[in-house]
Every structure is written in C-alpha cells, then in structure tokens.
Structure 1
Amino acid sequence: MKNLLGFIQNFQCINMKEGMKYRIVLLWVGCWLFFSSDAQTVRVSTEKLNISIDKEVSFHFQWSSEDHIPIATDQTRAALVVNGVQCSPFILDPSSVKQEQTRFQEWGMSKVTAFVSHFQNKDLNILQSTRLVLPEKFPDVVLIEQSYTNKGKERIHIDSVTSLPLRVSPKQLSSGQQDHLLASFQGGINEWGRDYALIWLSPGFSQDNFQGMHQTVSPERIEMIGGGMPFVDIWGKNMGVAIAHIEKEPQWVSLPVKVDADSIARISIVEVPDESIGMDGWVAPGESFETVLSALIFHKLDFHDGLRQYGELLRTRGVDIPTSSPQAAYEPYWKSWGFELDFTLEEIYGILPELKDLGIYVANLDDGWFDYYGDWKVNRSEGKFPGGEEDMIDFVDSVHQRGFRTNLWWYPLGVSPESDLAKNHGDLLVMDKDGNYPKESRQLYQLCPAYGPAMDHVEGLVKRFIKTWGYDGLYTDTRGLSAVPPCYNKKHKHKTPMESFQQTTRVFEVIDETLKKYNKEGLHEVCICAVPHSPYHMPYYQISSASDPVDLLQTRRRIKVEKAIHGPSYAAGDCYQVPDDEWSGFSVPQSFQSAVGTGGQVTTFYTDLDSVQYAIWKRWIQEYRSLELSSADYTNLYDIAFDKPEVHVVKKGREMYYGFYADLWSKTDPIELRGLEQGVSYKVLDYANGRDLGMVTADKPYVYSGFKEFLLLRVTPE
C-alpha cells in the first residue's frame, strides 16, 4: 500500500439528507470489507483512494495520485462535546458495517460504506452513525455525513460537533521538506484588504472562518458581517487537501485553521448549535442530531482544482453556479465612480466620445444618483436630476443614443434610517432580538430577504430601473450583501431567526429573475466588497467582480478564484484599473497586462487621460478586444504559491497564452511553458512587445527572457 494521504479522527454520520437517499441500483460488494486479525479495521478502496477505519473510528486516507509522508490524525479535539463532556473515543461495532455500490440521483454510481459506533460514560449513551460516499464521477472526493443518536434516558445538549479534523505538516505535502511553509485558501470574511486566495501558514496563525455573523475590526471600521465561502484548502509544493460543507444553503458553521509552533496546521468543520437563533442543540432520548454534509477533496497545485471540484459538487446538489457568461458580459466597460458622489451628468456626457474612441461602449452610472438607500428616488441636486424621474429617463435615453449600453449601481438590501421606507415600513426590515434594527458597515438597516413583502419591494425597484427608466442591467454592490443577520421581526413569522441568514440568496434571485423578465439580455454583475463571493448567490449573476483588491496580486488571484469555481470562461472583472495619478486605493493600479494575461475583463473608472495615457489605453483595449481571452479557457498549469515567476494560462483553440509576473526576472533563469502537446513545435511571441522568442516543444519547453513586472507570451503550434 502506498503512503497514506491523510488521517481524520472520529467521523460520525449516517442518515444522508435529501438527495443522498435516492437509490436506483443497490449491490452488495462483499470483497470491500476486511477485518484484520489483530484489530477490527474496515478498508475501502477505489482507483484513486484507499481508506481504512480503525476500531476507534479514526480514518486513514491514501490518495494514490501522489506519494507522500502520512498525515497524522488530529488527536487533540473530540468530535463531539455533550453536556460539557468530550465524547471520545467512539468504538466501532464491526457487525454494523455495510458496504454497497449504489446509484444516487445526485452523485451517480458510488461506493458507500456505513457503520455505527458507541460512546458510553455514566449517563451518556450515544450512538454515532457514519456514512462515506465515494462517487465514481468525483474520484478525488470523499463525502462524509454524520449523526448522533441519544440512546440514554435523559435529553442531552450538543455543545459542539467537529467534522474532518485534519492535522497537516509542510513535510506531508512537500515531499518531506519540513522547512517549506504551507499555503492556504480560506473562505471566511475578515477586515477589508486581507487576502483570502493565498494565505501563508506560519506558526501561531489562527483564523476561524466563521460563516455566521461576526465582528471584524480594522483601522477604518468595525462591522458585523457574515457569509463567505465554506471552503478551506491547504497545499504544499506537491499536493493539497480541501474541506468544505456542501449543503444547499448557507450554514452557521466555522472552518477554523490554526498553526502550531512546529508549523503543524489543523483544520476542521465545527458546528456550535445556537438556540438564540433557532438552532436546536437539545436531543431527546431516541432522537438524533445530524451534521452538515462534508466533502474532503484532494488535488495538485494550488486551490484551483479543489475549488473547481467544490463548484461541481454544489452544481450536482442543485446550486446552479454558471460555468460561462453571455457574450455581452465580456465587453470592457467604464463607470462613473471616478467622479465620485458629486458627479454631474455633463461630466459623464463629456467623457463618452473618448470612451467610444477607445473602444468602450458600456458606460455605467455608479453611486451618488439617489437620495436614500431603500427609497431609491433620484438625486435632485443641480447637475444631476433636478427634474426627478423624467431627468433619469432622459439621461438613459441620451446614453443609448450615443451608442452605449448602461447599467445602474445599487445596494438592494440597504435602507437609510432617514428614508421613507424606514420611517413608514419598518415591517420590511431585519430586527434583532431586542427589537432594534441592526446596522451593517454603511450604517444602514437591511431588508429581510426571507420576508415576501420585502422582496416584493426589491422586485418593484428592479422593474422601475429596467422597464421604466430603461437601464440595460444592474451592478449590485457592497459587503452587506454577503449575509444578513438573524431576524426576530415578529411580523415576518419566521420559523426560526436563521431564515433571514440562510435565505440571503433570495434577493439575488429576485433581482436576476426580474431583470430578465423586462430585459432578456440584461446583465447582472455583483461585487461583494473585499470578500469571497458566496457560492449560493452565484447562480443569479453573470459577471463577478474581483471585489475591491488592494493590489494587482490580489486581483490576479481573485480572477483565478472566480474562473475556478465558476468555469474557465466565466466573466471575471479586474475591478477598475485607473491611471497611476488617479489611483486612490479603491481600484487597481493601471495594468492591462495583468488583466489581459489572466483572462480578466477590463474595467475602469478613469476621469482624464493625457496623450501618453490615451495611446496606452487605446492600444490595450483594442488588444483586449482582438484577443478575446476573457471568454477563452483559463487553464490551471501552475501553482500561484510555489511556482516562480507567477504564471497564468489561457487557452484559445490550440493557442496558449501565458502571463508571467514578477518584480524583476533574470534572462538567465529559465521560464517553463507547461501544457504543450507532444510532437508539436510552437512559435513563441512576446505579444506585448512584438518580440519573437523562437521555438519550443514539450520536450524543450523553456524560454529565456528577462522582464520587469510582466511577460505576455502567445504560443502558437506550427
């Protein structure tokens, strides 16, 4: 047997939830089951995975795609804490083991192993039920679900449940080299400016990645925020392992990552039932507590392939994340934010001829056009819309007549405390348990997405923007869209306060459906400022912004994230590059090479270009249009953490486009071109500078070229 890939302690599950129950074919496969003579050990194997389960329900996973040092089981955390007691170990009942080959409605043909185990301590008597599913169409994935049944005479309280506790060292993921740090992707939400796509794991690191509402603190703001992506990935130079829950809606869980003094990383999925928001941690005799459906994903290189498989798993469950975008979504566009809140219509009209000369035919109206959040009446200030709604309609008509499409910025859940909506329709708002309206980062109240009349209000607004005013699409923005707090508004008659949190997706669905109702070709773009997009919202928009990166590194990483979880040709915006003299931190420094080389969509909110800048912008916007790399296939061939220089690859037909990035790269250091076909010769062109760099083959894939900041290569088969 090859080296073990991972060890996971105390998995407890069965009773797979909706979608895991549907069986068409049920076959007994007796040869899977094996008990060793000295210890009762269950073994399961597929072409890619070997799993063993010992008598104390420790799991040992071997991924046959990579030879490596075993990952030790995390022995420091009990899987279950009940009434303040750590319930460990559970003892496997060998007579309960059942192994089958089953066809699921969701997963297709799969190998399934199920068993029970027991824990007894004084008055505690708990049955742990476990089910593992290994789908054939996901050969690098193990699905795990657990349940705990109270077999005692008194009710018990589930204090916490820990699933998939992994203990990972650099040596185990980096061919025995302990001195290398591990890299990670972490889908939790933190303060503005923190990276989530690449976080190095050094001793002492700790991050909860709590998906529920929590406080973040930065010099600029203190805010309550929640949501994110319930996915954590850790990788080394050789391979990576990711964990995620794959429920059909957001869950109140954590995915903590902690690093010991000896660089050992510990990850898991933790559930802590909170009765105050309607989560029930009490279990009566004979009743059960079910954990979230979890996935363990193995992969090579960085987070990309783990995220790709995670997205596919969610699609299989019915979370219909789009894999590509309509053709119009790839158009480069400008928006008015460069003129900030005090823009005038004349400023916008004045820049349109230059935009058209540059090759930009989409001009969007950004923040500052309205009076109060929630009411969304036009701003009647001089220079804007003093004539009210008729001026807005005239503006949209004028932009259209000049040959542009235009989309409207808004934050659909936000409600100003001074608004008519807040004063007269507080019944539409999220309310906390003390009867107050909680405020998000912009000091706004929020509509409750789980309350029908509140979503009717949103539907009416979209109808006004699209049908009455004539906008072509919508740009939905701000951090407050990531999640909504639990709602205690009695008028909403929620089953539990958690409904508002778990149904935040509903506002995205209402927006997109209403937009398409009044404009079938309308586009919906979403920016969740400086945080990872929630996969549960993704089915309802066609363009994903890189979400306010603070530098070009973050921009490129976030474009890779969106291409991974959506699909290789999905439209991912570069988040508004501007000339260096206009950069203020809420955009990325000018670098068309960074956007084009990663397959990103070019966007901007510049206000003024000098003649030199104009020539650069015109050249690169034309280049962007002619290459069409934003709609081509992003191809994962390099690791953004461990490969140097940083590399991104976009494949268009048989041509390969490579974007290399480094502060400074020596011409004496080789640059490897991966992904070339055997037996084919390729011509290499530095298309940014028009330089012929010769020929390469799969056997001799190296070029030698020094560069500063970037090198863009087109590699064409002869």
Structure 2
Amino acid sequence: MVILWGSCSSKQEDVQTSVLKIEHGNLLYEVNDQLQTSFSVSLPDTKPVMSGFQASEKIEINHKIIEVFNFKGVEEESLTGVLSGKKWSIKGSYTDNDISIDKELILIAYDAYPDLITTKVIYTNAKEDEVYVEKWINNEYNIHSQGDTPLFWAFQGSSTQKRSDWIKPLEPGFYQKNFMGMNDTDYGGGIPVTSVWRTDINVAVGHLALVPKIVSLPTEILSKGTDVKVAVAKDFKERTVFKGRENIETLETFLSVTKGDYFANLERYSNLMQAKGIKMVPPEDAAFESIWCAWGYERKFTLDEIIKTLPKVKDLGIKWAVLDDGFQIAEGDWDAHPEKFPKGNIEIKNLVDKIHDQGLKAKIWWTPLAADPHSDALQKNPEMRIRQRDDAPQFITWWDAYYLSPSNPKTIEHTKEIIELFMGEWGFDGLKMDGQHMNAVGADYGLEDPDKAPEAVPAFFDMIYEEARKIKPHAVVEHCPCGACMSYFNMASTNQVVSSDPLSSWQIRHKGKTYKALIPKTAYYGDHVELSDNKSDFASSFGVGAVLGTKFTWPKDNQYASESFLLTPEKEKIWKKWFSLYDDKMLSKEPYLGSLYDIGYDKPETHVIKKEDVLYFSFYAKKWNNSIELRGLDANTEYIVKDYFNEIDLGKVTSKDTTATINAVFEDFLLLEVTPVKK
C-alpha cells in the first residue's frame, strides 16, 4: 500500500490536484483539494473507468447540493486487530452567506480486503443557525461504457412486487432506485450492494452496517451518453432539522473493484461483513436432502391425499415431506382447522408420525410476522401489530393479513409458542418460513423510535432459529421470502435458502450464484421444479448445486387445485432419474467456482462445481452448436470428459495452461463431468 499526501499551495499555479493517493491492491484512489475523488484500476487488460475527479460524497441542505469543500488537512491512523489497515481523515469546509458546513471524509483500506476502500462522512453544521438536510450521497461514480453489448450488466439487490431478475443487462434509458426500505406494502429490504460490470471490470458499491438501513442504491444509464451512474444515497423522509454545531454521519459505505461478473464482489462484501460481526449459522446436513411439498394439492388438500402420496415420495428417493398452507385456522392461529382435522391437533401429530414411518423427515409451512385481522392472536394481543403513522396496520397482501412488530415482546412470546406447537408437540423436523413480508418491515410508530423496527427483523429470525434448534438440534429452518431479493441480514439465521417462487429457470440459476457468493456453505433449494421452465427443468437446479424439490400429486390431482401437477408414468421415469442422480453426485454440498465464468457476457451461460479433483460443468442455451471452453483445469493436464446425464463419453482433452476447448451440440443444457487422468 503506497500513500502520498500533501496540502494545497497558496499560489494558484502551484495547486496540487491530489491531496491524497491510496494504492490498495489494484485500486488507486485519489482525493483532490475540493474533497472530490477519483479512482483507477491496474487489473490486467482494464480500460479507463472514469474521467477526472467527481463529487462522490455530497449533502443536500436547504435544497442546495453541496459538493465542493475547501481542503484543510489530512490525518493518517493505523488500525489493528481483526480488521487491520489504514484510516485517513480528510477535512474540508464549505461556506456561503447562509450555510457553513465542515466535512470530514474518512477512508479505510483494510489489509485483508485489497481492491476495496470504505467511506464514511461526518458533516458538521459550523454555525449556530439551524438548516435543513434532505439527502446525503456516498460513492457516486459515473462509470464509462466501452461499447459492450449490452453496455453493462448489473446485480441490484432491492425487492418489489415485480419480483424482477436480480441480474439484468443495462441499456440506454435504464434507471432503478434500489430502495432498501418498503417499496410496496409487503415488499422491501434486500442485499445493500449494487455491482455493475463491463467485459473488463466490475465496480460495486454498498453499505457495511450490520443491520438493515433505509437507503437507496440508484443505478442509471445517463441520458447524455452511455455511462452508468451508481451511488449509495440516504433520502430523509422529511426535511430534517440540522441543528447548529451538530453532526450528521453517513453509513460506512464502500467501493470495490474486481474482474468478471458480480460474484467476487459479493463474496468479498459478505466476508467483510462477517469479519465485522455478522455470524452465519453452520450448515445442516439434512438441509441438503431432496424435498416433496404437498402444495401441489394447494390449500384444499385432504389428509388422505397427503398420506397416500408418501409411499411414492419414498419410492422416488426423496427425503422430506412438507405440509403446506391450508392446515391452520388462520394466519396467527396455527392450530389444526376443525373442518379439515375434526379430531384437532392430534391428527397433525399422527400425520407427522406417518411421515416418519416412511423414513421421511417432516417440515411445516408457516408465515411468521403475519396474523389475520380476525385471528384470536390479534384480538387478544392487538399491540402485536405494526402501527403506521396514522395508526393503520401494515398490510400483507397474499394472506390478507397484518404485519406483526418484530420487537414487540408479545410477538416474540406468541412466536415461541408456535414453534413449540410445531416442533415440540407435533414433532416436525423443520420449518418452511414463507412470505415476501419476512424480508423487511416498515416503520412502527408503536415504538419510541419507529425506524428501529426494520433493524429488529434479523434478531427476530435469530430467535426463531435458536428456538427451533433447542427443540430439534438438527432442525432445518428454511427462509422463503416469496420472490423478494432476500435480505442479506436474514441469511444469518437460516440453514436453507431457496429460489423462492422463481419466475424462470434463469432466476433459479442466478439466485443460486448469488447465494453461493454470499453464504457458500448454506443449502440452496431450487424450489419446486414445477416453477422452472417447462415445469421440468431439474438441470437448472442441479447444475448450480441446488437441492432438488417437487410438488407432484399422485395418483390424482386435488379437484379444487388451480392446475395439474400429476406425476404421470412418463414423468415418473424422469423424476426418478434426477433424484437418483442428485443423491449420487450431491453437488449441492461442494464448492461452487463462481469466478470462472461471467454470467452476463460469456456464452453459453456456464456454472462450475468442484468435487475433490473432478470438475462439474453445466452449460445453458436454447440451442448451441459451437466450441465451449473448459476453465479452471490444472495446467497441462489430461482429462476425461463425460456427458454424465446422458452417459456419453466425449473423449479426452489436455489443458493448455488452465483451459481446454471442445465442440458441443446441445439444446437447453449440457452437464459435463471432467476428471483428470490418473498417472
């Protein structure tokens, strides 16, 4: 790490442009005498990223954006401990007739995280008079396009009811706010990182707070030209009083650069967050076992339908059976519905016993943080619900339910009682927690500080995980936020994440790559195969190392179900082959090599898993008749190549350096097993 700094000369012709230069890995970061910044990258074959200095950190006061501050000085400090490194404090000031603001720009380069620099700004109202603050912005950069097609690809981690792709190409006219608060009544939160890339460089920005924060990460293709603009921004809900002599601090945000797609930057972000204090739970072996869910029968299932399907589930080699939505009296009242279970809760306990008798594990569906307005739970404890500014409830659309407040003691007590019912009394081995509403909550005006409610969500799910594992030490706690980009902060309290109602096989694959970057040891479930392309694309789950699952019905459908998921004899042969292959390979437990291929620009789309010294490649395209490159091989080594799904030997290749090329013809997918020849 090379550091240079200086102060400005009083003579205009002698003014130094840079007052601080930081060389951290391949990242050169500079600050000028107006406290504006610039960065460049020395990674191989990288073209210029930006032009000159830009006002990357600024504040809006009294409807005026202040982005030029006169440099006053810089101080350096060494950091020790787990996160050792260097810290710089660069000070400056802005003054006009009405406003006087001091700015302290704090930059940190952590030793263990080259190519990443963090930013925090402290603004001080230097006058006695009050002013109003509307917004602060950190890490705002205009990144040049190099004429790629598309101009850029981007990972954006926000959630809305559109359930959009997390990864998408960016073209002129593109804009996405990426607000981390509530974008709809029951959609919000996500992963507070934006990662944009060209064919030669990836640039990511985000924040490093250890709980959810209400900020935006806007991404925009600028109208004049083809550059992309990214940033981290805090918009205050109302004009906020900034009192004289007081401070406003931004979050610690970051800039990170890599080669390739978003995988390495997300991996680096998660590793840094864990070093800062996020504790991920350990993996659970049972979470990697295949799943059958009774949701194929939908809410009007009968107990007889589930029981009669269990032998077929076992025959296919599937290990889990899930009781889904429809067993309960209401959301919030989780006892057995008397019309479906006339003998009451004992019938659900008996169902669990029958699942266990088949040698299967049992999981139960549940919507924590949700209760119906008419439920006994809310009638007896109305204080459990979130209260918006006008005292109205926060609404959950799918179940016509109300949000419960995650930090309310009554909510926590109620939730613990439900877990005891499910796992203690009934004997379930796992929880399928379901609903887009789990990802985030809005402000709760029943609290002294309403904005603390969103920050309390991760602790609520920590509590659920701990309670479940007290009762069942090997409990699987699945977190399925129904199409939302899962909150990174909730990932710390689950041992099974899921593609969560995917709208396409593409979503199954790129969500899988995302989770493998952030929580590589946690089981990733591809969800019911019936949600994939053609309702049968096991290959997309299999190739990215996802747990296989299905919601087939057998020997017939429920007459009230919205569509058929009947397991016909023809489908049964296919289903049995995939579940047998899954158990044979168990790729879901093995390391996923996410940096070998660019999921946006490389064609065909490729994913790689390494099991001991064998590489498993999965290629995806509607039709392909061309060469494909095998990357990640040992240098100058001979390999045997096999299409292991179709059981076809494709001969031998010898790597040139660490790659080899073969010709391939396929439709939809190709799964290859590449094994080094033993000498």
Q: TM-score, normalised by structure 2?
A: 0.93
Partner in structure 2 of residue 501 of structure 1: 454
Partner in structure 2 of residue 527 of structure 1: 480
- Contact kept, 8 Å, 1:458 with 1:510, in 2: the verdict is no
Match of 1:194 among 164, 167, 173: 164
Shift of 1:360: 0.8
Partner in structure 1 of residue 538 of structure 2: 592
- Contact kept, 8 Å, 2:189 with 2:440, in 1: the verdict is yes
Q: Secondary structure at the match of 1:139?
A: coil
Deviations 1:608-644 (A, max 9, x none): 3222211111111111001010001110210110000
Write the mapping of 1:227-242 to structure 2, written as runs, cut at 5 A.
227-242=189-204
Residue 233 (structure 2) pairs with residue 270 (structure 1) = yes
- Contact kept, 8 Å, 2:638 with 2:652, in 1: the verdict is yes
- Contact kept, 8 Å, 2:292 with 2:320, in 1: the verdict is yes
Q: Aligned partners of 2:113 and 2:3: how far apart in 1? A: 22
Partner in structure 2 of residue 17 of structure 1: none
Shift of 1:572: 0.6
Partner in structure 1 of residue 100 of structure 2: 125
Shift of 1:587: 8.6
Cα 1:587/1:402, change in 2 over 3 Å: farther
Cα 1:290/1:193, change in 2 over 3 Å: closer
- Contact kept, 8 Å, 2:618 with 2:669, in 1: the verdict is yes
Write the mapping of 1:620-699 to structure 2, written as runs, cut at 5 A.
620-636=578-594, 637-666=596-625, 669-699=626-656
Q: Aligned partners of 1:505 and 1:600: how far apart in 2? A: 24
Deviations 1:347-386 (A, max 9, x none): 11111111111101210101111011111121122xx311
Q: Aligned partners of 2:226 and 2:318: how far apart in 1? A: 49
Q: Aligned partners of 2:370 and 2:328: how far apart in 1? A: 13
- Contact kept, 8 Å, 2:307 with 2:351, in 1: the verdict is no
Partner in structure 2 of residue 38 of structure 1: 15
Cα 1:471/1:167, change in 2 over 3 Å: same
Partner in structure 2 of residue 606 of structure 1: 552
- Contact kept, 8 Å, 1:430 with 1:487, in 2: the verdict is yes
Shift of 1:343: 0.6
Deviations 1:420-467 (A, max 9, x none): 122221111111121222212222111100112211110111111111
Shift of 1:387: 0.8
Cα 1:289/1:470, change in 2 over 3 Å: same
Shift of 1:72: 2.9
- Contact kept, 8 Å, 2:57 with 2:140, in 1: the verdict is no
- Contact kept, 8 Å, 1:78 with 1:87, in 2: the verdict is no
Q: Secondary structure at the match of 1:385?
A: coil
Match of 2:381 among 418, 425, 437: 425
Aligned letter for 2:354? Answer: S
Partner in structure 1 of residue 183 of structure 2: 214
Q: Secondary structure at the match of 2:674?
A: strand
Question: Mean alpha-carbon deviation: is it higher for 505-514 or for 67-76?
Answer: 67-76
Aligned letter for 2:542? Answer: V
Aligned letter for 2:362? Answer: T
Cα 1:31/1:499, change in 2 over 3 Å: closer
Question: Mean alpha-carbon deviation: is it higher for 596-605 or for 438-447?
Answer: 438-447
Higher percent of residues as strand: 2
Q: Secondary structure at the match of 1:431?
A: coil
Q: Aligned partners of 2:314 and 2:3: how far apart in 1? A: 69
- Contact kept, 8 Å, 2:219 with 2:228, in 1: the verdict is yes
Q: Aligned partners of 2:199 and 2:207: how far apart in 1? A: 25
- Contact kept, 8 Å, 2:405 with 2:453, in 1: the verdict is yes
Q: Aligned partners of 1:587 and 1:369: how far apart in 2? A: 29
For structure 1, the 5+ residue unaligned runs are: 1-28, 172-176, 216-222, 579-584
- Contact kept, 8 Å, 2:36 with 2:55, in 1: the verdict is no
Shift of 1:63: 2.3
Cα 1:204/1:614, change in 2 over 3 Å: same
Aligned letter for 2:480? Answer: C
Residue 494 (structure 2) pairs with residue 541 (structure 1) = yes
Q: Aligned partners of 1:101 and 1:356: how far apart in 2? A: 60
Aligned letter for 1:168? Answer: I
Deviations 1:170-210 (A, max 9, x none): 21xxxxx35542000111112234111x2111111111111
Shift of 1:332: 0.3
Shift of 1:594: 1.7
Q: Aligned partners of 2:645 and 2:428: how far apart in 1? A: 36
Aligned letter for 1:161? Answer: W
Aligned-residue CA RMSD in angstroms?
1.9
Cα 1:557/1:78, change in 2 over 3 Å: closer
Aligned letter for 1:456? Answer: E
Q: Aligned partners of 2:505 and 2:620: how far apart in 1? A: 10
- Contact kept, 8 Å, 1:548 with 1:587, in 2: the verdict is no
Match of 2:525 among 573, 593, 598: 573
Residue 354 (structure 2) pairs with residue 398 (structure 1) = yes
Residue 290 (structure 2) pairs with residue 332 (structure 1) = yes
Aligned letter for 2:641? Answer: V
Write the mapping of 1:115-514 to structure 2, written as runs, cut at 5 A.
115-171=90-146, 177=147, 180-196=150-166, 198-215=167-184, 223-261=185-223, 262-274=225-237, 281-322=240-281, 325-381=283-339, 384-442=340-398, 443-489=400-446, 494-514=447-467
Shift of 1:163: 0.6
- Contact kept, 8 Å, 2:55 with 2:67, in 1: the verdict is no
Match of 1:59 among 37, 48, 62: 37
Q: Secondary structure at the match of 2:48?
A: coil
Match of 2:506 among 547, 553, 557: 553
Residue 47 (structure 2) pairs with residue 68 (structure 1) = yes
Shift of 1:258: 1.4
Shift of 1:237: 0.8
Q: Secondary structure at the match of 1:62?
A: strand
Q: Secondary structure at the match of 1:118?
A: strand
Shift of 1:561: 0.7
Cα 1:147/1:371, change in 2 over 3 Å: same
Cα 1:137/1:267, change in 2 over 3 Å: same
Aligned letter for 2:404? Answer: L
Aligned letter for 1:147? Answer: I
Shift of 1:74: 8.2
Q: Aligned partners of 2:53 and 2:305: how far apart in 1? A: 61
Cα 1:365/1:695, change in 2 over 3 Å: same
Partner in structure 2 of residue 23 of structure 1: none
Q: Aligned partners of 2:267 and 2:469: how far apart in 1? A: 27
For structure 2, the 5+ residue unaligned runs are: 9-13, 554-565
Q: Aligned partners of 1:586 and 1:689: how far apart in 2? A: 21
Aligned letter for 1:376? Answer: W
Partner in structure 1 of residue 562 of structure 2: none
Shift of 1:35: 5.5
Q: Secondary structure at the match of 1:352?
A: helix
- Contact kept, 8 Å, 2:441 with 2:454, in 1: the verdict is yes
Aligned letter for 1:403? Answer: G
- Contact kept, 8 Å, 1:304 with 1:560, in 2: the verdict is yes
Deviations 1:69-95 (A, max 9, x none): 2313685887111122221311111xx
Shift of 1:299: 1.3
Q: Aligned partners of 2:572 and 2:669: how far apart in 1? A: 21
Q: Secondary structure at the match of 1:307?
A: helix
Q: Aligned partners of 1:447 and 1:593: how far apart in 2? A: 39
What is the number of equivalent residue pairs in this alignment? 653
- Contact kept, 8 Å, 1:551 with 1:589, in 2: the verdict is no
Cα 1:712/1:467, change in 2 over 3 Å: same
- Contact kept, 8 Å, 1:74 with 1:165, in 2: the verdict is no
Q: Aligned partners of 1:75 and 1:566: how far apart in 2? A: 34
Shift of 1:113: 1.7
Q: Aligned partners of 1:393 and 1:370: how far apart in 2? A: 13
Q: Aligned partners of 2:277 and 2:388: how far apart in 1? A: 31
Partner in structure 2 of residue 617 of structure 1: 575
Q: Secondary structure at the match of 1:65?
A: coil
